[in-house]
Structure 1
């Protein structure tokens, strides 16, 4: 999907995996691929990963394995985001760090994709 190339985070290896997760999830939405992507991204913005809509990030054990595999990328995305907003990002739900990082980075990746493709 061409839209994925517009991500500000495409230089990170984890972006390919994020794109696969998005592709799997948009198939349940109606319409053409771009409309499916938009509907998915809007749903994610409303509920976030905490809603359980991303099966890869429901269980702490899955998040831990994902974080270990992509630790440098996830920490890099967080650093870029903190630099852009000018302050540290807090773990307001007090989740394990690895779950917090998976949720934060996936949500930021999707939000960035939405703003670049649809705004």
Structure 2
């Protein structure tokens, strides 16, 4: 993990697993036994914890500001909003997904305005 952390901290986010294994002084197969894919290694790397936390906090801050302004109803967390948006992003495998994504996004935003004082 230290070799992966070092590669990611120096901006080498596209570093190959075999290169990270070489830096760590282990065989590529050893690293692959613990992390089947490069994405799994990236996901488990603690270097991204701060970014994930900040990314989760940003929608919370926006939702709170919208609620305070009366343009968004309360009761939805930033985490829930990110999961909903992630679900929309995952729709790309079906024909017509773009039109459906637009409609679902409109429903999502309409739902966020439900109960808002100034939803207009």
- Specify the TM-score bucket, using the shorter chain as the normaliser: under 0.3
Between structure 1 and structure 2, the one with the greater Rg is 2
- Larger relative CO (CA 8 A, sep 6+): 1 or 2? 1
Question: TM-score normalized by structure 2?
Answer: 0.23
Question: TM-score normalized by structure 1?
Answer: 0.23
